[in-house]
Amino acid sequence: MGVSEALSDDGTLTGRGGPWRRGIVTWVGTLIGAGGHSLPFLISHFQTAFVLAIVVVVIELMAIAWVRWRYFPGTTVRSSVIQVTVAGIVVIAVGLIFRERLASRRRAHSRVD
């Protein structure tokens, strides 16, 4: 994410600052986000870890919505929350689709004909 953001433009196109600054900010945000919802799974009790990971993801999505509202001109709180919520739902849906496809492939390969 940080590399793609840094390479997207030199800052004059979007006015979002230089590539190194944007790249570092995006890299740090990605690192915190990935660690935030992955670290709960170090807890040995799965259900506790899962619930904690969901809480962390909701907090992360609300933080993203706040950043969008605060720093993107013309963005309302409502539209920001809706956009982030829809994006979260899309990510969950894609994950469930891939999970089901992977499970059906495993079942097909484990059958002995």
Number of other residues whose CB lies within 10 A of the CB of residue 65: 21
Say if residue 94 is exposed, middle or buried (CB neighbours under 10 Å; 0-12, 13-18, 19+): exposed
pLDDT at 58 (0 to 100)? 87
pLDDT number for residue 103: 81
pLDDT tens for each residue of the chain, 113 residues long: 555 555 556 666 666 677 777 778 778 888 888 888 888 889 999 999 989 988 988 888 888 888 888 887 788 888 888 888 888 889 889 988 988 888 888 877 777 55
**pLDDT at position 30:** 82
pLDDT at 10: 65
The pLDDT score that the predictor gives to residue 53 is 87
CB-based burial label for 75 (10 Å; 0-12, 13-18, 19+): middle
Whole-number pLDDT of residue 112: 55
For residues 62 and 85, is the Cβ–Cβ distance under 8 A? no
pLDDT of residue 45: 92
